[in-house]
Amino acid sequence: MSSEFKIQNSKFKTERYCGCFVTGTDTGVGKTVVTAALAHCLRQHGISVGVMKPIETGYDPGSATLSDVARLQSSIDNHDPIDLVSPYWLPLPLAPLAAARRAGVTIQMGRMVDAFKTLAARHECLLVEGVEGVGGVMVPIADRFDVRDLIVALGLPVLIVGRPALGGVNHALLTVEALRQRGVSILGIVLNQPAGGGSSVHDRLQRDSTIAILRERLDIPVLGPLRYEAALEHEWEQGVGRIAEDPVMHELAGLLRAIGP
Number of H helices, E strands in the chain: 11, 10
Q: Please, which pLDDT band fits residue 7 given cuts at 50, 70 and 90?
A: very low
pLDDT score at 185: 96
Q: Distance (Å, rounded) from C-alpha 104 to C-alpha 54?
A: 17
pLDDT for res 16: 66
The answer, yes or no, to whether residue 49 has pLDDT greater than 60, is: yes
What is the arithmetic mean of pLDDT over 36-56?
95
Q: At 3, is the pLDDT very low, low, confident or very high (cuts 50, 70, 90)?
A: very low
Q: State the pLDDT at residue 10.
A: 46
Q: How far is CA 149 from the centre of its chain?
A: 15
Q: What pTM value is reported for the model?
A: 0.91
Q: Are 101 and 65 in contact (CB under 8 A)?
A: no
pLDDT at 176: 97
Taking only Cα atoms into account, the Rg of the chain, rounded to an integer number of angstroms, comes to 17
CB 91 within 8 A of CB 132: no
The single residue of 6, 31, 53, 117 carrying the catalytic annotation is 53
Binning pLDDT at 50, 70 and 90, where does residue 6 land?
Answer: very low
Task: Parse the chain into domains and list their residue ranges.
Answer: 3-259
Per residue in 174-205, pLDDT (tens digit) is 999 999 999 999 999 999 987 766 677 888 89
Mean pLDDT, the chain, rounded, equals 88
53 is catalytic: yes
> For 115-142, what is each residue's pLDDT tens digit?
999 999 999 999 999 876 566 899 899 9
Average of per-residue pLDDT across 10-25: 75
pLDDT tens for each residue of 98-113: 999 999 999 999 999 9
Question: So what's the pLDDT on residue 4?
Answer: 38
For the domain covering 3-259, report its CATH number: 3.40.50.300
Average pLDDT over residues 60-86: 87
